[in-house]
Amino acid sequence: MKTLELQLITVGLDDGSQGVFVGMPLISPESSDESGQVENIWFSNVKEVPDSLTMEELMGLIGKQLIDRLATVQ
C-alpha cells in the first residue's frame, strides 16, 4: 500500500476554540535540530470539498493550491 507522510497541527485560540490542520511534515527528524523556526503563517480561503474525497485527492488539491499561491506571491 502506498503511504503519505501527514502531520496534524492543532491551533488553540484564547477563546477556547481549536482547529486541526493536516499537511505534509515541514521538518524531518534529520533536520529538526538545524532549522525549523516558524517565520510566517498563511491561511488559505475556506474551500468546500466532497466528503468522499480520498486523502491522496485532498493532498493533490492542496498541492495545486500551493502552486497557485506561489505563482501569485512572486
Grid cell listed for 31: 533536520
pTM: 0.52
Check if the beta carbon of residue 64 is closer than 8 Å to that of residue 47.
no
Instruction: Identify the domain containing residue 16 by its residue range.
Output: 1-26+48-74
pLDDT in tens, the chain (74 residues): 788 788 888 889 999 999 988 877 877 777 666 666 777 877 778 888 899 998 888 888 888 887 877 777 65
In a domain, 65, yes or no: yes
The answer to whether 66 and 43 are in contact (CB under 8 A) is no
* Domain presence at residue 31: no
Number of domains in the chain: 1
6 belongs to a structural domain: yes
With respect to residue 67, please indicate whether it lies within any of the assigned structural domains: yes
**pLDDT of res. 68:** 77
d(CA 57, CA 63) in angstroms, rounded, equals 10
Distance between CA atoms of 22 and 39, rounded to whole angstroms? 19
Q: Whose grid coordinates read 499537511?
A: 23
